[in-house]
Amino acid sequence: MSVKRSFGRVFGFFFALGRKTGKTRALALLGLFPVVLAVVARIFLRGRSGDMAAVFTEILMVFFLQLYVVILSLFYGTSVVGEEVENRTLSYLTTRPVSKPAIVLGKYAAYSLLMFVMVGLGLGVSFFILNAPRLGDPALYATFLRYLGVLGLGILAYTAFFTFLGALLKKAIIVGLVFGFGWENVIQYFPGSTQRFSVVHYLKSLLPIHRAGPGGGGRGVALLLFRLEPTAPLVAVLALVAIAAVFLALACGLFRTKEYLSED
Amino acid sequence: MTAVIAASHLSKWYGNVLGLNDVSLEIEEGITGLLGPNGAGKSTFMKLVTGQMKPNIGAVTVRGRRTWNSPALFLDIGFCPEHDVFYEDMTGLEFVSGLLRLYGFGPAEVRDRAARALDIVDLTKDKDRLIRGYSRGMRQRIKFAQAVAHDPGIVILDEPMSGLDPLGKRKLIRLIKDFKSEGRTILVSSHVLPEIEALTSRVVLVHQGKILAQGDVPYIRELIEAHPHQISVRSSDPRALAARFVGDRSIPKMTFGEDGRTLVVETYKRDDFFGRLAGVVLEDGIEVEEISSPDDNLQAVFEYLVGK
């Protein structure tokens, strides 16, 4: 079977399975937090659209970008290979006529789509609740799509990196936590080129900066863009795509050559 | 007959632990039993055959092709792993169908094959239940179903009867025997001797990573020339019978059974003994009620070979 068709079959298998797991339900519930916050803000900040928009950019986007996407990518990414090894289900996949790279790529794509749906739903509902007074403004939708795109690229890049970690290490989650909430949260604030060694730098470089008007209210995205020396948007997109591609290729190569032995 | 599975000087280490030691083996069509105690190397061999591990030394091939990183081989191989593990959030039908789709079958064919496989293992009425709710016997059967749903010519079963009650074992043994048909190759491992005996007479004995013996049970038994055969004769006058064989240098030992009617003879020359026994019965008129060979079975052969 060609790699493309194998990829499609593996994708279908894990997208169907991923939707049903307890992990997905729990993480999807976490994604409701911004919706709840948006509803609360809507109730208490009624009539103050600038403040409501600021709640989105300064609280909810921080939640999505620096917490939710990282957690999702960490749990799903490390489990692309790691979960199969830990649960001893790897033999069900490697004794089928599908290539090992197709297994990694298919499962990565399935989980990425699942995460995108979870993030997209939470983002969409909370965004439009908080920007409800401006629903007639087309620029609002462009802003929303930009936020969604940034988070989508974040999912792709982080998940690829964590997929590689999961293929490389047994306890990849621990290293992933250190990376996701240690390295990423520290390096991004280093001046000069150093901050370019973090994924979140490129994601933040793509965020819209609002002053007054739709989606931003009266303040910039101050909290998120603190100390940021942004990279040009096109370069940032290319960097994120390259990060995803490189780590996926490394994960595929590693999975193809490494033996994964169960602990018995 | 051409070997379907061939191992040549196969060795496998786990760090400093030797899992398989210079194993050379050819497996032909039909059912072959891989027998040995836990830790003997059976699962290691099966993982090498199914490409889950690569050998440190030597090679293992299926139909002439090495198994490591050869996904195309698995169009015709079905594997039933040892461990009781599944995608627990799936129903039995979803599990079998989902894995069938990985072979590239279309939706209609997946449906048909899954239905057939579930019918073979008698899980049709439980197909829509989550696997996590299945009994141990049902879990073993669904594992067998996913191994055979694509109708492979080669089936590798690693301890398929592990954890089953006697009824479950009987069901699965029947399933395996029913599945064997012209041209199919089935390799099944177990550490429980009667399970292998119930399936096949073609056995490979494995211990501490080495092949101790292989072939039919009687053939293996014949190999053990240094070990005397045990023959039990129940007769009307066992002492008179024993008296006729005292002094025979090929008979190192004779004992009497607790029932007072049985003579158990250990002899290096079984055929000679039977010949002489027939003569004694005719000449002396001793009535012989039953003759049996208590150690002409896998248990005795294996215990002797592993030195227990």
User: How many C-beta neighbours within 10 Å does residue B134 have?
Assistant: 19
Q: Find the farthest-apart pair of alpha carbons in chain A and give their distance in angstroms, rounded.
A: 63
Q: Which residues of B touch A262 (CB under 8 A)?
A: 83
Which residues 6+ apart lie within 8 Å of B249 measured at CB? none
Length of chain A counted residue by residue: 264
CB nearest A9 (choices: B54, B79, B101): B101
Q: Do A20 and B89 touch (CB under 8 A)?
A: yes
Q: Where are the beta strands (DSSP E) in chain A?
A: none
Q: Are the beta carbons of B229 and B267 closer than 8 angstroms? A: yes
Q: Are the beta carbons of B35 and B203 closer than 8 angstroms? A: yes
Residue among B182, B102, B113 at smallest CA distance from B151: B113
H-type helices in B121-156, by residue range?
A: 136-148
Tokens of B152: 């492979």
The confidence score (pLDDT) of residue B197 equals 84
Q: What angle do CA B80, B84, B86 make, to 5 degrees?
A: 80
Q: Do B101 and A12 touch (CB under 8 A)?
A: yes
Q: Which residues of A touch B89 (CB under 8 A)?
A: 17, 20-22
Q: Do B69 and A100 touch (CB under 8 A)?
A: yes
pLDDT band at A212 (very low <50, low <70, confident <90, very high): very low
Average pLDDT of chain B, as a whole number? 89
What ipTM is given for this predicted complex?
Answer: 0.87
Q: Are the beta carbons of A248 and A163 closer than 8 angstroms? A: yes
Q: Do A92 and B81 touch (CB under 8 A)?
A: yes
CA pair distance A31, B259, nearest whole angstrom:
78
pLDDT in tens, A12-64: 999 999 999 999 999 999 999 999 999 998 888 877 777 777 788 778 888 99
- Secondary structure (3-state) at A222: helix
Q: Mean pLDDT over residues A83-108, rounded?
A: 96
Instruction: Name the residue in chain B with its Cα closest to that of A106.
Output: B102
Q: Which residues of B touch A87 (CB under 8 A)?
A: 85
> Which strand ranges, in their side-by-side order, compose the sheet holding B17-27?
B17-27, B5-14, B57-62, B65-66
Q: Are the beta carbons of A88 and B83 closer than 8 angstroms? A: yes
**Residue B142 distance to chain A (closest CA, Å):** 13
Tokens of A129: 């609740």
pLDDT band at B270 (very low <50, low <70, confident <90, very high): confident
Answer whether residue B51 shows pLDDT above 90: yes
Q: What angle do CA A65, A68, A73 make, to 5 degrees?
A: 95
CB nearest A92 (choices: B53, B73, B99): B99
| Structure-model confidence comparison of residues B286 and A76, the more confident one | A76
Q: Do B102 and A88 touch (CB under 8 A)?
A: no
Q: Which of A1, A79, A84, A91 to mutate to test the interface with B (most CBs of B within 10 A)?
A: A91
Q: Which residues of B touch A20 (CB under 8 A)?
A: 89-90
- Burial of A47-78, coded b for 16+ CB within 10 Å and e otherwise, reads eebeebbbbbbbbbbebbbbebbbbbbbbbbb
The CA distances from residue B166 to B147, B169, B194, B268, in Å, are 22, 5, 11, 37
CA dihedral A99, A104, A107, A112 (to 10 degrees): -140
Residue among A113, A90, A146 at smallest CA distance from A15: A113
The confidence score (pLDDT) of residue A64 equals 94
CB nearest A1 (choices: B53, B90, B104): B104
**Residue B52 distance to chain A (closest CA, Å):** 7
Establish, for the pair of chains A and B, how many residue pairs have beta carbons separated by less than 8 Å. 78
The CA distances from residue A153 to A147, A157, A199, A202, A205, in Å, are 10, 6, 10, 10, 12
Tokens of A175: 């290293």
Q: Do B87 and A88 touch (CB under 8 A)?
A: no
Answer whether residue A221 shows pLDDT above 60: no
The confidence score (pLDDT) of residue A213 equals 42
Side-chain-side CA neighbours of A235 within 13 Å: the count stands at 6
Cβ-based burial of A171 (10 A; exposed 0-12, middle 13-18, buried ≥19): exposed
H/E run at residue B30: strand B30-35
**Residue B279 distance to chain A (closest CA, Å):** 57
Q: Which residues of A touch B78 (CB under 8 A)?
A: 95
The confidence score (pLDDT) of residue B226 equals 62
CA pair distance B207, B237, nearest whole angstrom:
42
Residue among A94, A156, A106, A136 at smallest CA distance from A6: A106
The confidence score (pLDDT) of residue B167 equals 86
In single-letter form, the type of residue at position B166 comes to P
CA pair distance B79, B68, nearest whole angstrom:
15
The confidence score (pLDDT) of residue A34 equals 92
Tokens of A226: 């603190």
Complete DSSP assignment for B148-214: HTT--SEEEEESTTTT--HHHHHHHHHHHHHH--TT-EEEEEES-HHHHHHH-SEEEEEETTEEEEE
Q: Which residues of A touch B47 (CB under 8 A)?
A: 91
Q: Mean pLDDT over residues A85-92, rounded?
A: 95
Instruction: Name the residue in chain A with its Cα closest to that of B50.
Output: A95
In single-letter form, the type of residue at position B281 comes to V
Q: Find the farthest-apart pair of alpha carbons in chain B and give their distance in angstroms, rounded.
A: 76
- Secondary structure (3-state) at B61: strand
Answer whether residue B143 shows pLDDT above 90: yes
Q: Are the beta carbons of B1 and B28 closer than 8 angstroms? A: yes
How much of chain B is in helix, strand and coil states, percent to nearest 5? 35, 30, 35
CA pair distance B218, B204, nearest whole angstrom:
13
In single-letter form, the type of residue at position B196 comes to I
CB nearest A17 (choices: B14, B79, B89): B89
Which residues does A contribute to its contact with B (CB < 8 Å)?
A: 1, 5-6, 9-10, 12-13, 16-17, 20-22, 87-100, 256, 259, 261-262
H-type helices in B25-106, by residue range?
A: 42-49, 92-101
- Burial of B107-133, coded b for 16+ CB within 10 Å and e otherwise, reads eeebeebbbebbebbebeebbeebbee
Q: Which of A95, A105, A114, A252 to mutate to test the interface with B (most CBs of B within 10 A)?
A: A95
Answer whether residue A73 shows pLDDT above 50: yes
Q: Are the beta carbons of B252 and B258 closer than 8 angstroms? A: no
Which residues 6+ apart lie within 8 Å of A13 measured at CB? A106, A110, B98, B99, B101, B102
pLDDT in tens, B208-250: 899 988 888 777 666 665 667 889 999 989 999 999 999 888 8
Q: Do A16 and B94 touch (CB under 8 A)?
A: yes
- Secondary structure (3-state) at A239: helix
Q: Are the beta carbons of B266 and B253 closer than 8 angstroms? A: yes
Q: Mean pLDDT over residues B134-141, rounded?
A: 93
H/E run at residue A155: helix A138-168
Q: For chain A, which residues make up each domain, given as ranges? A: 3-257
pTM metric for this prediction: 0.85
